[in-house]
Amino acid sequence: MVLDTLDGPFRHRYLTHEALTRQLEAWARTYPQLTRLQSIGTSPEGREIWVLAIGPEPERRRPAVWVDGNLHGVELAGSSVALAVAETALAVHTNPTALPRHLPDHLLEFLRGVLFYICPRISPDGAEQVLRLSGFVRSAPRRTPHAPDLPYWRLQDMNDDGRCRYLRVPDEAGDFIESTTCPGLMLPRRVDDPPPYWRLYPEGVIEHWDGETIPEPNWLLDTPDFNRNFPWSWQPEPEQIGAGHYPGSEPETRAVIDFAIAHPNLYAWLNLHTFGGVFIRPLIDAPDSRMDQSDLALYRQLAAWAQDLVGYPTVSGYEEFTYEPETPLRGDLTDFAYHQRGCVGLVCELWDLFHRLGHPKPMRFVEHYTSFEREDMERLAQWDADHNQRRMFGAWQPLQHPQLGAVEVGGLDPCIGLWNPPPEMLPALCDSVATYWLHVAALVPRLALESVSTIALGNDHWELKVTVANRGYLPTHGVNAAARRPWNTGVEARASAEGGCQLLDPERARQRLGHLDGWGRGLGEGAHMPWYQRSRGSSHRASVRWLIRGAGEVRLNIGGPRLGYLSRTIEIPGGAALPGHGSRPSRASRRRTQHR
């Protein structure tokens, strides 16, 4: 069975957890030879955190790439795009003609050897509440354990319309007014604006209310932020808001951490967020001057693809995406993937709303989110009317609030149009990001046996020589930032003799070859320039030798935890061969070659 078209339901609507599960299970049933579906953990509300592995013999270890979405509850588009990457990866194996962009045969053949791990929704509890009620959920709809019993706003549908929007309260000291040209749109008050004036609060009720004090809404205070809960450069509250009690304290993040540690074969990691229309790369905690320059050249290549295939720029997390200059985010998932797991790690903030509104690019990309003027807000409301079926801005209606008395409910519902693209715009976004990620997946290392030979030494003694090479773009250690991690052990070769022959030096049965370079260098590397072009030499290749006595078979196992293993059985002939005369493996022995 093949995918005739890439048109899954997730390309047209945002899926509930139940519908998302049905989609993953359908793929697992339809393509049992290509997929393996597993739950890597369970959320506090009892929902599975799914990971779908895609590739022939999906249990077999080999270089892999990872995609996740919905790390933050409100960012639903990440799930749709992650599922689209899964659908596209399946089409590579079943029907390449369905791919959104033609790929040459050699690239398709290479991609068929890459494992894809897809985790479409890290926060199923958060996404489910957003789909059910709307409103802002940073990661999950729960409080951090042992949070103080101070007053806070809890989302609640007060007028039974199925959506949580806003409450507005008339107040002479209010800091908002209503737009005179765009109904439902609230604007920050200026000194020359006439009344009425309003204060804005989330639609809901105040927990631990003292009957008088109205707390400032703070959706990040005393709630876990999964993207501040990963081990690299983690810092506790209050140094980092949302950090949790310790790295991996949340079951959702712990599930991802445990999976990554158990799968050292990951080489690239795409963490899907919304919104902005930008890719964010390392470094997150330091300027580019402190980044490994070879890694930086690699990211320049990815940036070129991102601009060409998706239309998004790529920026440094530290230089253009720190909310406070020189104050890096801590406990970030991309940092964990890049620094600790040796992956080409990237965030994609899906949905280029700023570009569509014609918002001018500020000096630092993150300033898009704080340089939205009144005119931009009115332009957003007009865009909502013209292109978003008026999903965002609703009329205000009177409401008797159980705590605040006479208020009005309505206004902005940012879920579709602001936080996430309209469903009508999902298909093109899914196609572009999935195509981009196929190109990134094509960078992983590819281990190959270049030659195996037996050389007669006389007196029934033989030398077995094996040459192995990395034919992939990346070196076998992945990015340089994690090349020296203790678990990142490189290539090793093991030999075992059977059937009458024996290794003359058993202590050399296992030999370490170290890491092998790839052929890629990224963009802007001096060795590519016409005034001094040069290759690295043979650092992508290594040879290993064993001395053997007698006739029989030698079993070879070559590779490592990140690369998987190449296996081959070599026949050692009997008889008194003359020194220097070689013997090639028989056809039967070549048939026993495996890559496991």
Consecutive 10-residue runs of the chain (596 residues): their mean pLDDT?
85 97 97 97 96 96 97 95 98 94 94 97 95 87 81 89 92 94 91 95 91 85 87 88 89 97 97 96 92 95 97 94 84 94 96 93 87 90 94 93 94 94 96 97 96 91 95 96 93 94 93 95 85 88 95 95 95 64 43 44
Do 323 and 463 belong to one domain? Answer: no
Distance from C-alpha of 256 to C-alpha of 61, rounded to nearest angstrom: 18
CA distances to 81, 149, 204, 209 from 404, rounded to whole Å, are: 41, 20, 11, 11
User: For strand 115-119 and strand 48-54, is the pairing parallel, antiparallel, or unpaired?
Assistant: antiparallel
Do 112 and 202 belong to one domain? Answer: no
CATH at 118 = 3.40.630.10
Does residue 27 sit within a domain? yes
CATH at 458 = 2.60.40.10
Residues 6+ apart with CB under 8 A from 299: 281, 282, 314, 344, 522
Does residue 4 sit within a domain? no
Q: What's the chain's length in residues? A: 596
At 470, is the secondary structure helix, strand, or coil?
A: strand
Do 71 and 106 belong to one domain? Answer: yes
Q: What are phi and psi of 235, to 5 degrees?
A: -135, 145
Q: Residue 575: what pLDDT?
A: 60
The residues pairing with 496 across neighbouring beta strands, listed in sequence order, are: 555
The residues pairing with 400 across neighbouring beta strands, listed in sequence order, are: 406
Residue 13 belongs to domain spanning: 9-130+224-351+420-441
The dihedral region occupied by 478, where left means phi > 0, alpha psi between -120 and 50, and beta the remainder, is left
Distance from C-alpha of 344 to C-alpha of 366, rounded to nearest angstrom: 22
Cβ atoms of 273 and 78 closer than 8 Å: yes
Do 121 and 235 belong to one domain? Answer: yes
Do 497 and 396 belong to one domain? Answer: no
Does residue 82 sit within a domain? yes
Distance from C-alpha of 114 to C-alpha of 50, rounded to nearest angstrom: 20
Does residue 135 sit within a domain? no
Where would I find the H helices in 112-237? 124-133
Nearest-5° Cα angle at 548, 496 to 571 = 65
Query: Would you state the structure tokens that stand for residue 482, as one six-digit string?
Result: 């994690």
Element (H, E) at 252: helix 251-262
Concatenating the DSSP letter of every residue in 481-522 gives GGTT-TT---EEEEEEEETT-EES-GGGSEEEEE----S---
Query: Would you state the structure tokens that stand for residue 506, as one six-digit string?
Result: 């058993």
Q: What are phi and psi of 374, to 5 degrees?
A: -55, -40
- Residue given tokens 């190109």 in the structure block: 439
Do 400 and 529 belong to one domain? Answer: no
Do 463 and 474 belong to one domain? Answer: yes
Do 390 and 332 belong to one domain? Answer: no
Q: Give every strand in the sheet of 582-583, ordered side by side.
A: 502-503, 541-549, 461-470, 447-458, 582-583
- Residue given tokens 């059985």 in the structure block: 569
Q: Residue 1: what pLDDT?
A: 65
Does residue 327 sit within a domain? yes
Buried b / exposed e along 490-514 (16+ C-beta atoms within 10 A): bbbbebebeeebebeeeeeeebebe
Structural domains counted in the chain: 3
Q: Residue 561: what pLDDT?
A: 94
Query: Would you state the structure tokens that stand for residue 422, as one six-digit string?
Result: 């309209």
CA distances to 95, 386, 437, 446, 497 from 103, rounded to whole Å, are: 12, 36, 13, 19, 43
Does residue 367 sit within a domain? yes
Rounded-to-5 percentages of helix, strand, coil across the chain: 25, 25, 45
Q: Residue 312: what pLDDT?
A: 97
Q: Residue 328: what pLDDT?
A: 86
Do 339 and 382 belong to one domain? Answer: no
Q: What are phi and psi of 425, to 5 degrees?
A: -100, 0
Do 42 and 93 belong to one domain? Answer: yes
Does residue 136 sit within a domain? no
From the CB of residue 538, how many other CB atoms can be counted at a distance below 10 Å?
12
Does residue 464 sit within a domain? yes
Cβ atoms of 47 and 102 closer than 8 Å: no
Do 216 and 231 belong to one domain? Answer: no
Do 432 and 406 belong to one domain? Answer: no
Distance from C-alpha of 105 to C-alpha of 394, rounded to nearest angstrom: 51
User: For strand 344-350 and strand 266-274, is the pairing parallel, antiparallel, or unpaired?
Assistant: parallel
CA distances to 97, 135, 271, 464, 544 from 451, rounded to whole Å, are: 35, 61, 39, 11, 11
Q: Residue 326: what pLDDT?
A: 77
